[in-house]
Structures are given as structure tokens and as C-alpha cells.
Structure 1
Amino acid sequence: MNSTVFAPWEDPEKKPLIRFQNVTKKFGTFTAIDNLSLDIYEREFFALLGPSGCGKTTMMRMLAGFETPTSGRIELAGKNIIPVPPNKRATNMMFQSYALFPHLTVWDNIAFGLRREGMEKDKMNARVEEMLRLTRLERFAKRKPHQISGGQRQRVALARSLAKAPTLLLLDEPLGALDAKLRQDTQFELMDIQEKTGTTFVIVTHDQEEAMTVASRIAVMDEGQLIQVATPDRIYETPVSVYVADFIGDVNIIEGKTTLIEDGQYQIDWAEGQMPLHAASSQPFDKGQTCFVAIRPEKVAISAEKPQAADNIVQGKVLDIAYLGNLSTYHVELADGTIIKSQTANTRRIARRSFTWGDTVWLSWTATAGVMLAR
């Protein structure tokens, strides 16, 4: 890709590769997808993210042609694909189980779809070799699936899916079967391969870290609807609702009632015996309106002494410490029972930690550290 920022969704001239237009999908009386519209652009690595049963897999199955919408329209490259059968669509789907043929070698697994299409031998050989190189499997070409690791099987499935050069590759929880370390490595491999091939990838996952790592944009879904569609940094820094804030990463949610102090600056009354909080918002809030302030733990400072100047200062006791190697998260209980999390980077060895269980500490954060949400 060139050095300009990849953001076709911000270019009004750009036509989307995939369009969902007012798509509804019902199974009997149950509505899996509810009047949903979404555009996905060429070369995107797009993630559908949400809990089990939110409708993300149904969307993918409709793209693949395994489900038909109850109403609405789905376009691929400007053409309505609803009447097109799965095997005639310029899409390919990689399943969580990989579905490799156990009796065929890695080479033959990758060649399978090309053979069925009747591709001439020289072209097929060249294409399979290219896929082996792309997925770094050259050394394993003659092995059977049971003779290679889970991560390698995952790459065989990917190579086979990409061999037919689909316009769109659909990945259904593709890393679900891998252990944590391998998942991480494979995420970067997937991004690398996606960039090299220029294929549009749509991934279904319930793993927020995975979506944040690989995706150009994320659609956070709940109960068949899109709650927010944005780049990972926007979803993390400016979630549109408590649901999104809570779904992505660790977060403190404080509920209170708002009073406007001055332009965009609010006072929030939130707990008996606690000083009001101060927060900023470009969205207007009415006097006395219930609001939720979402503050990421890494934006909450923790100290033994009371800070001299900060927009928000609270005092509490260290209730719990989660040590994650590079980070420590302190769970601090305030006098009213509220628990606020503060996260600090561990730049020094664990024995030199400043705070321990039961310590009285001060937490502080700026007025702009949190996001004010209406729902």
C-alpha cells in the first residue's frame, strides 16, 4: 500500500465492494438480522465483532450464499448476489474447523479447488507453489494434515481458500482452535497475507483483541444490529455507547447526573459523600440527565499522596491487583463501595511495586480522560 492513509470509507467517490441494504433475516419468529445496512470496501480487513448470537455469523453466511435474507439486498461489486448460488460467487469461506482432506497432502489440499475447476496443469502448479510460498509451507508440501501443527493446518486452509483468487475471503473464527501465543503470531501473518494479496477479508470473531489487532474497521454487533462501525482506535477512544465501551477492552463506567458548567464542560453528581466529577463532551447533555462516564484504566493515575491539581480525585483502598507482566491493574474500592480500576506500566521489577493490598491510595484523572455516554 502507498504511504497515504488507507480509508476508502471517508472518500465519497469510492464505491463499496460489499453493500448490505436494509437486510433482515428471520428464522421463524426470531429476527437474527434486523434491517441492517453496511458498506465494506475493497482491500479492507473488516471484522464483525460481538457476543454469541448477535448475528455476525448469519451475516457472513448470507455473504457466502448459505443463507438467504428475508428482505433487503446484498451487493458485491455493484451486483445483487442474493440469487447467485454459493459456488458461483466470487467469495470463498474459511471455516473454523479448516475442513482439510486428511488423505490428501498439503499440496493436493491447496490444489483441490483448482483441479475441480479444470485449471490447466502448468497454471495450477504455479498457483499452488505461489500459495505455498505466501503461507510459508513449501517444506510441508508433501505432508498430510495430521503430520503438521495446528497453526500450519490453519495456513493450509488459508492457502486453499486464496488459491482461487476470490474477490472476498470470509473467515469464520479462523483462529479459534489455536493457543494464545500462536493466535497472536497468526494474526500478524493473516494481516501480512491480506496486504500482499489485496484480497478483501471479512472476519467473524468474538475476540475483541483479535478484531483490534487485524481489522481496518470493526462492526460491533448486538442482537442483529450494528451498534458502531469504526476504526479500532475510534471504537476504543470514542465508543458510542456503554455496550461498546464495555465490550472492547477494560473500562470503568461511572453513572451520574449531569450539570453544564460551561461550553462542553460538565459536573457529574454520582455517589453519596463523593465530590462531583468533571468531564467534557462535544455531545450536549440536559441538566439532571443520567449519563455514563467511560474511563479506561490506563488513564487513571494512582498515587500514595493526594495529587495537588487534578480535575477528578478520589480516595480508596487497594482491593485487588492483577499482574500481567508488563502491566498491573489495581482494583481500588472507594468508601461507597464503587470499584475503580487503574492500570500502570511495570517498568521496574515486581518486588519494587509501590502499592499493595489494603493500601490507601488516591486515584486521579483529567476531565477529558473519559467519554460521556447517554446510554
Structure 2
Amino acid sequence: MAEAARSKPSPHQGIFEPWNDPDAEPLIRFQNVTKRFGDFTAIDDLSIDIYEREFFALLGPSGCGKTTLMRMLAGFEAPTEGTILLSGQDISPIPPNRRAVNMMFQSYALFPHLNIYENIAFGLKREGMPKNDIAERVDEMLRLTRLERFAKRKPHQISGGQRQRVALARSLAKAPKLLLLDEPLGALDKKLRQDTQFELMDIQEKTGTTFVIVTHDQEEAMTVASRVAVMDEGKLIQVSTPEELYEEPNSTYVADFIGDVNLIEGKASPSGDGIDIHWAEGQPPLHCKTSRVFSEGQTCHLAIRPEKVAIHSEEPEAMNKLQGKVLDIAYLGNISTYHVELPSGHVIKAQTANNRRIARRSFTWEDTVWLSWTETAGVALDR
């Protein structure tokens, strides 16, 4: 997950940060939107801005409201309360087929009796576009998605990844302002899904279309998106760039949902430019630098990623250091994760990179080891 947190450098980093520009006008604006189904509140007083050319991800567990949010954008559901603006216009009264929005479904919904060329051209023909213009636009989409060689094939004659690209080409053919992608890669195997994520990013960048993707796959969201909205029970928990979500979560929910994390609960005691966390009887307090203000004795949580915890055979010179015993080891090829049990019963995970191809493992089961981390390695959270 540490790798996934580093998204591509362009256009999502550097100068492309419209959310930090007070003069930038959002393409999509949810204003105090609530959606109820009977007594059930699927979306609860939600406000969010999405900007032109963003690749925006809605991330959360099943039932968190992300698909309902997308269906309201597409026009399949209407908000119970609040307003949804697209380019400054309230889109609630506009039917789905009149919106400058297209939606790509997980099933792809390709016509099996039409070839790839005809599938991409279908929507353009229905709109009455001239034949020459259709041919030019379809050829452009085939080139964009690298499907020129498959234009005459039927959907059942190409692979799952290629069908995904056909559905994408068809969705983009009408040049929508906004493309909605509902779990678009869920049907692909892991390796193909990873490859296709980068293809999606390249296509989004080339077309300049705003993409909004719904996914429950945190790694997918962190890989493709300029910003990610983490949702739970119809509410936005945090909206940030992948880097900020991973390194600066605003709650234990986000820290635990995004990647792997150690969460240590304790009582705060203000100390210098941070806090001391008193967390277990007989254990030294842990120090964490933080700009958050904690009162004496306030319950707090230290969130620290396993790759930021060092593991040693001898006691290190460090402000935060704990001794324990290796309980379990997970070898994942590029990294090894050590589960270390402390005398208090807490289990802390530490990761080491396997930099050399053949190397004897430094630590094994039941070894007594030391763990350490710096005072800036963890994040102190108040909720």
C-alpha cells in the first residue's frame, strides 16, 4: 500500500490542484445532499466539490452510499434534500439521457450481436451524427484504447480487459463532461486490473474528461485518483489526495481503512512540540510530534504504518522503543511483515524490505527483538 499511495506525477500533482485554488470553479457541486429510501438514510447531508479534469474516487465499504451518490449524478436517483450542480446548473430536473454525463457499468453492457466498431458507434448513431463524423470519432476512440485490430470482432471474441476498453471507448465517444465508472475493473484478475488502472489514467489524461470512479478497492482508488473521498454510512469521512490520506489520516477509521496500520490507544500528556502517550502499565510512554491540541488525560490513538517501524536484534538508540517476541512472519516477496507481541499483549507489525534476492532471514519465530520509530513517524488522532 505504501507503493500505491504514490500516484502518478501528472496531472494530479504539481500545478494540477484546483481544490487548493480559491478561484477555481468546481465542475460538480453537491450541496447538503441527503438521500433517503423510506426510513433508511443512504446519503446524509453531504457536500463536496469535484473539479474539471479530476480523476475522483468514491471509496468505502459496501452500503456506505458511494453507488447512490453516483446514481444521483447519472440521474437514476433524485436527492431527497439538497442540490447537485453540474457546471453551475441544477441537474436534478434533467433526465439521464439529456445530461452531459455518461456511465460505464461493471458488466460493460456491450451488445453481443454488434462488433466492436458498431458497439462504439451505437450512441452516436442514435444521436443522428453524420456517418463521416461517426467514422472519424469511432476511429479516434479505437486508437485511444488501442483496439484498432479488433474493430470487426464481436465482444465474445476478445478478452475481458479488451471488453473493458470497448465499454470505455463507447462511453467516451459522445465526449461527456463527466464519466462515471461503477467498479469498472471488478471483473478482471489482479494483474490485468493493475495494468488497466494505468491505461485508465492515461486515457483520462489524454481526453481531459472528468472521471468519477466508485470502488471498494483501496489500492485501486489510491493508484488512479487525484483525490479520494472515503465514505462510511452515507457520510464523508475524509477527502484528500492519496498521499494525504495515507500519511495524514484524520481518524482511526481512515487510518485503518487505507493500508495497514498499528493503532495504539492511550492517554495524552502534552509535552514540548507534541504529546506523550501513556498506553500500557509498565511500558514507557510513546512520544509523537503533532500540531493537534490534546488536553491532559485525553484519550488518543497513535497510528503508525508498519514500514515506519524498524526491527532490531539489539536495543537501539531511539525515543520510541519497545521489546517483544516475534509471533508471526508474513513473507510477501518484496517485503516481510513481522508480528511482534509485547509483554502487554499488544501486537505491533513491522515491515522490512527484501532488497537482496537471496538472504538469510534476520529474525525468526520466537526471537526477542526491539522495535523503534521516530517521533514524527506516527500520527496522533483524537477520534
Structure 1, residues 298-351: CA drift from partner, whole Å, max 9, x if none? 1000011110x2110001111111111111111111111100000111012354
Q: Distance in 1 between matches of 2:185 and 2:334?
A: 24
The reply on whether 1:374 has 2:350 as its aligned counterpart is no
Partner SS state of residue 132, structure 1: helix
Distance in 1, matches of 2:327 and 2:163, equals: 44
Aligned to 2:293: 284
- 2:242 is aligned with 1:232: yes
Q: What are the Cα deviations for residues 101-139 of structure 1, in whole angstroms up to 9, with x where unaligned? A: 111101111001001111100000010000000000001
Q: How many aligned positions are there?
A: 373
1:211 to 207, 213, 221: 221
Q: 2:96 pairs with 86, 93, 108, which one?
A: 86
Give me the whole-angstrom Cα distance separating, in 2, the residues matched to 1:311 and 1:90. Answer: 56
For 1:245-260, list aligned pairs within 5 A. 245-260=255-270
Residue type at the aligned position of 2:248: T
1:73 has 2:83 as partner:
yes
Unpaired stretches in structure 2, ≥5 consecutive residues? 1-9
1:314 matched to 2:322? The reply is yes
Q: Give me the TM-score of the superposition, normalised by structure 2.
A: 0.96
Q: Give yes or no for the alignment of 1:23 onto 2:33.
A: yes
The letter for the 2-side match of 1:148 is I
Q: Measure, in 1, the Cα distance between the counterparts of 2:299 and 2:91.
A: 45
Residue 322 of structure 2: SS of its match in structure 1? strand
Range with bigger deviation, 321-330 or 171-180: 321-330
- Match in the other structure for 2:16: 6
Query: Which residue is equivalent to 1:46?
Result: 56
1:121 maps to which of 109, 125, 131: 131
In 1, Cα distance between equivalents of 2:274 and 2:256: 23
How many angstroms apart in 1 are the aligned matches of 2:128 and 2:380? 59
Identity %: 76
Deviations 1:66-108 (A, max 9, x none): 0000010000000000000000000000000000011110111
Q: Per the alignment, in what secondary structure is the counterpart of residue 22 of structure 2?
A: coil
Aligned to 1:329: 337
AA aligned opposite 2:237: I
Residue 5 (structure 1) shift = 2.1
Which whole-Å CA distance do the structure 1 matches of 2:365 and 2:159 have between them? 43
Which amino acid in 2 is paired with 1:20? Answer: F
Report the RMSD for the aligned CA atoms in angstroms. 1.0
Equivalent residues in 2 for 1:339-358, closer than 5 Å: 339-349=347-357, 351-358=359-366
* Distance in structure 1 (CA, Å) of the matches to 2:240 and 2:274: 26
The aligned residue for residue 192 of structure 2 is 182
Could you give the per-residue CA deviations for residues 213-232 of structure 1, whole angstroms, max 9, x where no partner exists? 00000000000000000111
Tell me which amino acid in the other structure corresponds to 1:373.
L
1:97 to 2:107 alignment? yes
Q: Secondary structure at the match of 2:329?
A: strand
SS in 2 for 1:352: coil
Residues in 1 aligned to 2:283 and 2:357: alpha-carbon distance in whole angstroms: 35
Q: Bigger shift: 347-356 or 207-216?
A: 347-356
5+ long unaligned stretches in structure 1: none
SS, match of residue 188 in structure 2: coil
- 1:199-252 superposed Cα distances (whole Å, 9 cap, x missing partner): 000000000000100000000000000000011100100000000000000000
Q: Deviation string for 1:135-179 (max 9, x for gaps)? A: 000011111111100000000000000000000000000000000
Residue identity opposite 1:344 in structure 2: T
| TM-score, structure 1 normalization | 0.98
Corresponding residue for residue 165 of structure 2: 155
Residues in 1 aligned to 2:237 and 2:70: alpha-carbon distance in whole angstroms = 17
